[in-house]
């Protein structure tokens, strides 16, 4: 498979492969060598991941997604249980941070796959 074979893979397919932290082209190679550190190339098909510079995009998307879905949860919990402020912060801040850090590699994988798929 060469880099010109991007047209054979649909955008949802590439996004899913990236979300699974796999190479968007072959779907088998690992995208990251550590937490969110990308491999230089795919160990299976040789796709160069150096061109897929995600920068801060995945972090912004992850923060937006988490805030969008977790904020209503906290409002509902506040309305139902009326916890004291320190208890609400004690629970909500670490929980939000854990969800953010847990979701980030998946979003970064999908973001890098989108970069690869939409690259001219």
DSSP collapsed to 3 states, 6-36: HHHCCHHHHHHHHHCCECCCCCCCECECCCC
The 10 Å Cβ neighbour count of residue 76 is 10
| Distance in angstroms (rounded) separating the CA atoms of residues 49 and 98 | 27
Stretch that binds Zn ion, among 16-24, 30-38, 87-95, 100-108 (CB under 5 A): 16-24
Binding of residue 31 to Zn ion (CB under 5 A): no
> Which residues, 6+ apart, have CB-to-CB distance to 76 below 8 Å?
none
Q: Which stretch binds Zn ion (CB under 5 A): 3-11, 20-28, 98-106, 112-120?
A: 20-28
Residue 29 or 38 with smaller CB distance to Zn ion: 29
Question: Which window, 2-10, 21-29, 75-83, 96-104, contacts Zn ion (CB under 5 A)?
Answer: 21-29
CA end-to-end distance (rounded Å), the chain:
17
**Interactions with Zn ion, residue window 46-75 (CB under 5 A):** 47
Q: Which one among 23, 36, 110, 115 touches Zn ion, defined by CB under 5 A?
A: 23
Selected from 29, 38, 105, 109, the binder of Zn ion by CB under 5 A is: 29
Smallest gap from residue 111 Cβ to Zn ion (A): 17
For the chain, state the CA radius of gyration.
Answer: 18
Residues at the site binding Zn ion, with contacts judged by CB under 5 A: 23, 25-26, 29, 42, 44-45, 47
């Amino acid at each position: 498979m060469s880099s010109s074979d991007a047209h054979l893979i649909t955008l949802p397919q590439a996004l899913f492969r990236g979300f699974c932290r796999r190479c968007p082209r072959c779907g088998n190679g690992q995208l990251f060598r550590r937490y969110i550190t990308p491999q230089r190339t795919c160990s299976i098909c040789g796709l160069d991941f150096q061109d897929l510079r995600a920068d801060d995009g995945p972090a912004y998307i992850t923060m937006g997604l988490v805030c969008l879905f977790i904020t209503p949860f906290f409002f509902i919990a506040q309305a139902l249980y009326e916890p004291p402020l320190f208890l609400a912060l004690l629970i909500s801040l670490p929980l939000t941070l854990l969800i953010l850090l847990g979701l980030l590699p998946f979003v970064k994988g999908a973001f890098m796959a989108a970069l690869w798929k939409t690259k001219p």
